[in-house]
């Protein structure tokens, strides 16, 4: 308040939040642990850690039971989560669920326990498409839902499912317990094993109607999720860059560290150019969405398209710069490599968002 100039830097509180999350992850969810969870295909220890810290409430107003802060804080958290390839799928699903619920009257109150980490609610949509398209293959008859929703993020392990069903110019929101009669969840294994996916089969499942969300509100929630994915990819990419700079600074070939070759330096520098652009776009979009600026949704699309692609280019450059060692299972690079590949497709690829942007630009 009272500022007269624009400011991009984070506030002191935001810096502290960043450091707090970073330190907690280093302590409780280091790469050795992530590896162990991945190999054992059990992400519950991380879910429990997140629940203890109530991280689902970061960026959610205290008046509805959250920890306060806004989208900038939440975005920061996701960037830090990306840096650690933390199994953050349930936080991402939770952000979508909360986004939907908070835009209908008493929506958040109806999701008991989500903010405190006592319940996990999956957003029952195909995770490879924008969430605002809803679960289009699900039919409603009275209060019963039937249909199949493939590739639902964090469906295995969720205690409830929030099913948004397309209706004219918006989404109808339905809630059901994941163990209700008629619900079957079939797990699918992706190569990024830090995330759980499942196909949700519904057959005459009794559900509770929560309310109706207008199209624009649904788009805004989707933009928030897209932004969080972008931030996560940025975090993962920054970590890959750090790993690479460190490695080429010690790997000796031809009697010198390979980091002294210009080709190697240029490749690293090119990564940096892209990641700084991604950083600008992501935090601008966070601010714009948080403050209800007109261009918020569009900037989130741009951030998603650019940052998730840039992170994949980073991954390939990082792999090349590591040589064969980076191509092994034992090297941590593969964890980040697979995560950013998945993030590229999650919620729809860059092509989807560029298409939306082109529509908005009214090219014809």
Ligand X SMILES: Cc1cc2nc3c(=O)[nH]c(=O)nc-3n(C[C@H](O)[C@H](O)[C@H](O)COP(=O)(O)OP(=O)(O)OC[C@H]3O[C@@H](n4cnc5c(N)ncnc54)[C@H](O)[C@@H]3O)c2cc1C
Per CB under 8 A, contacts with another protein among 184-213 are: 188-193
Tell me, residue by residue from 149 to 178, as one string, x for binding to another protein by CB under 8 A and - for no binding: -xx---------------------------
Q: Do 228 and 184 touch, CB atoms closer than 8 A? A: no
Only one residue has tokens 């397309």, namely 166
Find the part of the chain contacting another protein (CB under 8 A) among 73-81, 176-184, 251-259, 298-306.
251-259
Q: Do 145 and 163 touch, CB atoms closer than 8 A? A: yes
341 near another protein (CB under 8 A): yes
In 21-106, which ranges are E strands?
none
- In whole angstroms, give the CA distance from residue 252 to residue 147: 58
Only one residue has tokens 């280019």, namely 313
Element (H, E) at 302: helix 296-322
Give the residue, chosen from 45, 54, 331, 357, that forms a contact with another protein under the rule CB under 8 A. 331
Minimum CB separation from another protein for residue 190, in Å? 5
Q: Is the CB of 148 or the CB of 257 nearer to ligand X?
A: 257
Question: In 10 A of CB 275, how many CB atoms?
Answer: 22
| Residue 45 backbone dihedrals phi, psi, to 5 degrees | -55, -35
- In whole angstroms, give the CA distance from residue 244 to residue 225: 29
Q: Is the CB of 304 or the CB of 322 nearer to ligand X?
A: 322
265 near ligand X (CB under 6 A): no
- In whole angstroms, give the CA distance from residue 132 to residue 30: 34
Per CB under 6 A, contacts with ligand X among 182-211 are: none
β-pairing verdict for 121-123 and 160-167: parallel
List, in order, residues 6 or more apart from 54 with CB less than 8 Å away: 67, 115, 116, 117
β-sheet bridge partners, residue 140: 145
Q: Do 335 and 326 touch, CB atoms closer than 8 A? A: no
Give the residue, chosen from 1, 9, 324, 361, that forms a contact with ligand X under the rule CB under 6 A. 324
Per CB under 6 A, contacts with ligand X among 244-263 are: 251, 253-254, 258, 261, 263
331 near ligand X (CB under 6 A): no
| Partner whose binding site includes residue 128, from another protein, ligand X, none (CB under 5 to 8 Å by kind) | another protein
Minimum CB separation from another protein for residue 261, in Å? 7
| Partner whose binding site includes residue 294, from ligand X, another protein, none (CB under 5 to 8 Å by kind) | none
Give the residue, chosen from 64, 140, 320, 357, that forms a contact with ligand X under the rule CB under 6 A. 320
Q: Which residues of 277-292 are buried (b: 16+ CB within 10 A; e: fewer)?
A: ebbebbbbbbbbbbee
Q: Do 231 and 79 touch, CB atoms closer than 8 A? A: yes
263 near another protein (CB under 8 A): yes
Q: Is the CB of 290 or the CB of 344 nearer to another protein?
A: 344
357 near another protein (CB under 8 A): no
Find the part of the chain contacting ligand X (CB under 6 A) among 63-71, 196-204, 216-224, 317-325.
317-325
| Partner whose binding site includes residue 334, from ligand X, another protein, none (CB under 5 to 8 Å by kind) | another protein
264 near ligand X (CB under 6 A): yes
Tokens describing residue 188: 């699918």
Question: In 10 A of CB 21, how many CB atoms?
Answer: 23
Minimum CB separation from another protein for residue 318, in Å? 11
- Give me the residues that bind another protein (CB under 8 A), please: 126-129, 133, 150-151, 188-193, 252-255, 258, 261-264, 316, 319-320, 323-324, 326-331, 333-334, 337-338, 341-342, 344-346, 349, 351
């Amino acid at each position: 308040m009272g500022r007269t100039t624009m400011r991009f830097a984070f506030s002191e509180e935001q810096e502290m939040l960043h450091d707090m999350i970073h330190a907690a992850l280093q302590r409780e969810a280091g790469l050795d642990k992530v590896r162990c969870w991945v190999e054992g295909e059990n992400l519950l220890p991380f879910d429990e850690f997140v629940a203890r810290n109530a991280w689902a409430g970061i960026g959610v107003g205290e008046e509805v039971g959250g920890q306060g802060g806004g989208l900038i804080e939440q975005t920061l958290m996701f960037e830090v989560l990306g840096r650690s390839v933390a199994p953050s799928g349930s936080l991402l699903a939770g952000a979508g669920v909360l986004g939907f619920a908070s835009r209908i009257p008493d929506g958040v109150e109806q999701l008991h326990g989500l903010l405190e980490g006592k319940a996990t609610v999956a957003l029952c949509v195909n995770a490879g498409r924008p969430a605002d398209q809803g679960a289009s293959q699900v039919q409603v008859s009275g209060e019963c839902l039937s249909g199949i929703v493939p590739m639902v993020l964090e469906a295995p392990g969720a205690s409830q499912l929030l099913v948004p069903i397309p209706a004219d110019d918006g989404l109808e929101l339905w809630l059901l317990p994941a163990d209700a009669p008629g619900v079957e969840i079939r797990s699918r294994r992706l190569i990024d094993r830090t995330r759980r996916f499942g196909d949700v089969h519904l057959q005459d499942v009794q559900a509770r109607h929560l309310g109706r969300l207008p199209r624009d509100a649904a788009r805004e929630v989707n933009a928030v999720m897209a932004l969080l994915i972008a931030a996560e990819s940025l975090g993962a990419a920054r970590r890959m860059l750090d790993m690479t700079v460190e490695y080429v600074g010690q790997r000796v070939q031809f009697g010198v560290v390979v980091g002294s070759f210009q080709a190697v330096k240029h490749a690293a520098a090119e990564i940096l150019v892209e990641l700084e652009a991604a950083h600008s776009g992501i935090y601008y979009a966070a601010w714009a969405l948080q403050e209800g600026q007109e261009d918020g949704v569009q900037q989130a699309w741009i951030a998603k398209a650019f940052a998730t692609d840039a992170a994949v280019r980073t991954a390939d450059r990082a792999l090349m710069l590591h040589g064969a060692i980076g191509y092994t299972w034992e090297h941590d690079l593969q964890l980040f490599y697979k995560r950013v590949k998945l993030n590229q497709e999650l919620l729809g690829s860059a092509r989807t968002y560029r298409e939306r942007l082109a529509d908005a630009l009214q090219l014809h």
